[in-house]
Amino acid sequence: MSKIISGFSKFTKEEKIQWLTENYFNNQQETINVIKQYWNVDNDLQELHDDFIENTISNFYMPFGVAPNFNINGRTYVIPMVVEESSVVAAASLVAKYWSTRGGFKTTVLGTTKIGQVHFMFAGDKKELENYFSLNKTELFAATASITKNMEKRGGGILDIKLVDKTEKLPNYYQLHVTFETKDSMGANFINSCLEAIAKKFENDDIEIVMSILSNYVPECLVRAEVSCKIEDLGGENPQKFAEKFYQAVKIAEIEPYRAVTHNKGIMNGIDAVVLATGNDFRAVEAGAHSYAARSGQYASLSHCSIDDGIFKFWIEIPLALGTVGGLTALHPMAKLSLEMLQKPSARTLMQIMAAAGLAQNFAALRALTTKGIQHGHMKMHLQNILNQLGATEAEKKEITTYFDKRTVSHSAVVTKFNELRKPKINWVSFLNCDEVRSKLSTLKADAKPVFGKMNGQQMIEHLSFLMKISNGEVNADYFIEDEKSARRKAFLNTEGELQVGFKASMLSEEPYDVKFATIQESIDDLILQTENFKNHFKTAKIENHPFFGELDYEYWQKFHVKHFTHHFKQFNLL
């Protein structure tokens, strides 16, 4: 059956979900429950979110965290971050605090120019095109007057329009290269509206407009963030060695594209998290940053380092086209809250805050890589995610976190430790401690009913004595057990495993034996006697045969008796 559908966008949200679950999910009701679970209980707020994009069926939540202690140009910030990757917020916070005592972050906006282009084809004489452009340039500005009026009041607008010849790379291809200042607006709609007005005015019978669109490559919308201190102030056991390794790591990212991509991804971990939190366009920021990283013709690091004259300096220069008014920043309640948290910054200030966040994240990653390794810190943070997935209690989280404080975290190691904690604790019976055994058995009645099995209390005690006599050599249990089978069975005695309910050597009767002694007290006394005999017997004996495990020495007989006593003590709730 075809799953192509017409008119889907006209369906109600409920109809969209119904069609989707019927056609693409096995458990329809469970899927619907999950989808609706993420709806906001405030209908007005949910409708606001529904209108952000098309064909909305639910919300997809991302963690909203904060990184405190950022000292940027002498002002303290708490930076909002929206990101799904563990360790990003923690790393930014730790580095912010680290540099807050070393002068903080120094940031500068190097430019705020944004770019748009009108792409067109012209097959005529270039001189004629140049003359046409010169004669009409003023008219091109005028064509946008109604659009730029309010922007110009805020100090923005169109800065310049240039004619650019690209015919060497593509026949007949020219462009109008337009530069803009959009102040606190990201300006995408503003720029595109201006470009379309310019294109309409510029087009004639000989000029074919291909398209008009802003560029997300904004090398002149640039911000710099920097940290620096004396090398000796970096701290640690050997600050000079740390500075040198850090410098080498940055240099490697400057010359090796494979490393540079991951290096810059770390920077964008910090920047994108703030871009998302403030309702800006992280795809545009990503595209612009990575294009800038490749501006020399080879992809390279966005950050740089120097260690000259005893001073460690680490900085970043990155293009960031941002806005603090309009778009999602004015619609999304959390985006508005983020900007208020940042003390209602201008677009220029927001550029500086984001650059500092990116630099902090990069410093954290490089410090980890050049010291303990990136996985050490990352997996420490990932530990909490693993514990949440396992459903660990707060007490278990605390104990496991303490356990891994100085150990390497891996998923398998955490699961092993978790299972160890969850495994029921076995209170093994110390059968050689005769006082303890006598004390526990003194509470048992001769006719006590078992939790499992058929024996009563006194029969169980005499059963323990019987197996003890076998180990003492007083009862012949000369059953032949093949060496291979014996070795396989004996391995169990080295484990923490318990004897299973129903375990029984083949030589023993299905029904309990009649008791030998008149009272349970006499049976207890006999068991204690056999235990003492066991200790003495192996002062001379080497081995005694067990009817199931084969030949056992003193050590293995002890392991068996511990399991055997524990098994039967549990049979009567004595543990």
Is residue 359 within 8 A of residue 271, CB to CB? The reply is no
Contact 58, 38 (CB under 8 A): yes
CA atoms within 13 Å, Cβ hemisphere of 496: 6
Among the options 50, 85, 152, 254, which is catalytic?
85
Q: CA 350, CA 323: separation in Å to the nearest integer?
A: 8
| 85 catalytic per annotation | yes
Nearest Cα to 470, choosing from 540, 539, 528, 543? 543
Is position 162 annotated as part of the catalytic site?
Answer: no
Separation CA 363–CA 250 (nearest Å):
10
Cα 78 to Cα 69, 107, 379, distances in angstroms: 6, 16, 25
- 3-class state of residue 286 by DSSP: helix
Degrees, nearest 5: CA angle 58-63-67: 150
Tell me which residue of 169, 152, 312, 300 sits closest to 242, measured CA to CA: 312
DSSP characters over 101-165? TTT-BEEEE----EEEEEEEEE-S-HHHHHHHHHHHHHHHHHTTHHHHHHHHHTT-EEEEEEEEE
Between CA 379 and CA 372 the distance in angstroms is: 12
Rounded Cα distance, 194 and 449, in Å: 92
H-assigned helices in 315-441: 333-341, 347-370, 374-390, 394-403, 411-422, 434-441
Catalytic residue among 114, 119, 378, 564: 378
Q: Cα 400 to chain center, whole Å?
A: 18
How many of the other CB atoms lie within 10 Å of CB of 560?
22
Give catalytic status of residue 378 as yes or no: yes
**Among residues 565, 573, 575, which one has the least CA distance to residue 448?**
573
Catalytic entry in 196, 281, 462, 526 = 281
From 49, 265, 304, 440, active-site residue: 265
CA distance 139 to 196: 14
Closest CA to 214 of 238, 196, 202: 196
Q: Which residues are catalytic?
A: 85, 265, 281, 378
